[in-house]
Chain A
């Protein structure tokens, strides 16, 4: 049986397409490895899910924008009491929020300083438990909240939670009341 002889001279590996394929694979693996690293970093943080119930916190951090936030703790009660003459009517929520905004707004540097002071005070004084509630507007990336959480996660005396909400929600809340040593904001 006669077989046709193969001519090997014209058989070559298609190098152009091989190089194309190798580059595509390389780009794919570079991008996916970066993505995996990012998600692994986020996975290290535990962020408890909110519940549809009344909440309690020692510190409320309301993120206003990517540079400023409103820090409300029990000292906000003193601030509201001390400057009550600036609030014409008890039900004037806008005036209350404006007053708190004037007195208790922090920029990013001041917030970092306040958080590190909080940790130092816990380490030095009587051990108290703090629950920090971070409210982040929906239009901001959630990195704004995780940046704060990263600073809190390694302290056993501080717990935290994160909910969605803007300053406007506080402004349009049903009531902002002081009851003894409690500041209550009802949505």
Chain B
């Protein structure tokens, strides 16, 4: 009995060790599970009705950190980017200030200046709802075929903006990109 149990334990240890080795070998990006709550469609701001007006008290606000569509961000056209440069691999690092503006600090276009310029021009129009601020990084990888790897957004540096959200407030992540021609299966948020 003891021998059988020891044998089973040994097999389990070997399997676990093998699994651990496989995980260690995996590229870092593959280890991250994409956020299933992430939105895909741009949120449509409320529209006024014309038939009647109901004036009611204010409801509690659900805080969602995302692009601010009131401030007209321009979409990044993925097909145009592909046409411009099929092998574009561009990293944009910047930070979101307290007013929600995305300030680009550096662009690493790795020898793809046209794609870099197009991405810079578009991202300069992106403004966010002011619930979070801090450093943010976008990776655009046009040639990759791997799911969730075309665009990666590193939001690990973002902190709650205490001017607009209390420390106790729960802030959900909404749409952090505005890209025509890509689905959420192509995008990964690195939390």
- Chain A interface (Cβ < 8 Å from any Cβ of B): 43-46, 48-60, 72-74, 76-77, 123, 126-131, 133, 153-154, 156-157, 159, 161-163, 165, 181-187
Contacts and interface: CB of A to CB of B under 8 A. Distances in A.
B27 interface: no
A48 B45 contact: yes
A14 B167 CA distance: 74
Nearest to B164: A156
A154 B129 CA distance: 9
B130 to A, nearest CB: 5
20 contacts: A45-B72, A46-B71, A46-B72, A48-B48, A51-B47, A51-B50, A55-B53, A55-B54, A74-B57, A127-B165, A127-B169, A128-B58, A129-B59, A153-B70, A156-B129, A156-B130, A157-B164, A161-B47, A182-B54, A187-B52
A60 B55 contact: yes
A20 B21 CA distance: 80
B46 interface: yes
Contacts of A165: 50
A24 to B, nearest CB: 32
B53 A57 contact: yes
A57 B54 CA distance: 6
B2 interface: no
A74 B47 contact: no
A56 B56 CA distance: 7
B71 A129 contact: no
Contacts of B164: 123, 156-157
